[in-house]
């Protein structure tokens, strides 16, 4: 059995730590593993690093230049290159403990799942504002809806490539700059019958970049997430049902904004409710022809946290 571990990268020095952590993975019994790195930069800027680190690892490392500045292009290049019965995804700013793949595979095989998602736990730098640290906005923990896993994220995922629901599926290029391409991909697979689960015992860890410790960055991401969620919720619904869902989103937006106003100068709850209002605003907007904001394609800008 072959497991391909896929990493999409764009100008991140943290890729070295990611690769070194993958080189320490303990394979499931009877499995071999490879690492596939898809470089999404205009030029093959990561090639030297990947080849240099790859020589020090026990696993085979494959480098692909998959330009440019569209994460879906890189993800699809990984899928096109992968030959394994299983494909794992991890981000280039994350590291994995040695038993990560083993734990993910155990969950998938024991529960007969087509895809498994694990937590991506944020590790914050010392300058992180308290209101961000307390609410842990940057960790990504997979969730269920009505007891069912309907979608997930490629920051920590394992996929059975031979499952019919994933055969021939690719990430949408139009979402490759805004983000949400992985949510849509797995939501589409769920509609096609994918059985998906959560491996709480298989976390990966992300060092949060200083440029993402700003309210403005979180606001942009929350609005995009709201649009993405809303478009999934509205899919295949009648016009009456769509109008009802949008009305609910508008009501939640107003309630959240009101609570934020009542919180006054208490930064932690105020920002929490403001960001909830922004998310519901995105969900409300999803029924209209609004272009999703671009989050990716350039490294996060450094700046003073607010």
Residues 177 and 49 in one domain: yes
Q: Read out DSSP for 191-236?
A: HTT--EEE-TT--EEEEPPGGG-SHHHHHHHHHHHHHHHHHHHHTT
Residues of the domain holding 263:
215-285
Last residue in a domain, options 158, 175, 208: 208
Closest to 170 (Cα-Cα) out of 152, 153, 188, 158? 188
Residues 123 and 35 in one domain: yes
Residues 85 and 147 in one domain: yes
Residues 161 and 64 in one domain: yes
Q: What letters, b where the CB count within 10 A reaches 16 and e where it falls short, cover 276-290?
A: bbbbbbbbbbbbeee
pTM for this predicted structure = 0.88
Residues 172 and 23 in one domain: yes
Instruction: Provide the residue-wise pLDDT of the chain in tens; the chain has 306 residues.
Output: 999 999 999 999 999 999 999 999 999 999 999 999 999 999 999 999 999 999 999 999 999 999 989 999 999 999 999 999 999 999 999 999 999 999 999 999 999 999 999 999 999 999 999 999 999 999 999 999 889 999 999 999 999 999 999 999 999 998 888 778 999 999 999 999 999 999 999 999 999 999 999 999 999 999 988 988 887 777 767 888 888 988 999 999 999 999 999 998 999 999 999 999 999 999 998 877 655 555 555 444 333 333
Last residue in a domain, options 154, 188, 208: 208
Residues 105 and 197 in one domain: yes
Residues 222 and 133 in one domain: no
Residues 112 and 6 in one domain: yes
* Per-residue tokens: 51: 């080849």
Task: Tell whether 297 is covered by a domain.
Answer: no
């Amino acid at each position: 059995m072959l497991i391909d571990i896929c990493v999409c990268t764009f100008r991140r020095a943290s890729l070295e730590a990611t690769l070194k952590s993958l080189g320490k993975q303990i394979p499931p019994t009877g499995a071999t593993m490879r690492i596939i790195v898809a470089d999404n930069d205009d030029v093959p800027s990561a090639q030297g690093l990947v080849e240099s680190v790859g020589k020090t690892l026990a696993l085979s490392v494959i480098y692909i230049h998959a330009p440019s500045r569209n994460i879906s292009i890189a993800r699809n290049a990984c899928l096109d290159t992968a030959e394994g019965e299983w494909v794992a995804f991890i981000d280039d700013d994350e590291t994995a403990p040695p038993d990560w793949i083993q734990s993910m595979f155990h969950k998938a095989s024991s529960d007969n799942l087509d895809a498994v998602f694990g937590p991506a736990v944020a590790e914050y730098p010392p300058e992180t504002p308290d209101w961000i640290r307390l609410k842990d906005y940057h960790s990504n923990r997979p969730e269920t809806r009505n007891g069912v896993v309907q979608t997930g994220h490629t920051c920590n995922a394992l996929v059975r490539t031979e499952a019919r629901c994933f055969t021939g599926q690719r990430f949408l290029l139009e979402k490759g700059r805004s983000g949400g391409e992985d949510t849509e991909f797995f939501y589409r697979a769920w509609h096609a019958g994918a059985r998906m689960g959560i491996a709480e015992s298989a976390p990966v860890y992300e060092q949060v970049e200083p440029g993402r410790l700003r309210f403005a960055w979180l606001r942009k991401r929350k609005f995009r997430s709201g649009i993405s969620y809303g478009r999934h919720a509205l899919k295949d619904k009648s016009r009456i049902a769509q109008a009802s869902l949008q009305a609910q989103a508008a009501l939640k937006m107003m309630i959240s904004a009101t609570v934020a106003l009542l919180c006054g100068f208490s930064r932690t709850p105020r920002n929490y409710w403001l960001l909830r209002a922004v998310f519901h605003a995105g969900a409300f907007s999803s029924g209209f022809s609004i272009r999703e904001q671009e989050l990716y394609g350039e490294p996060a800008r450094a700046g003073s946290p607010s």
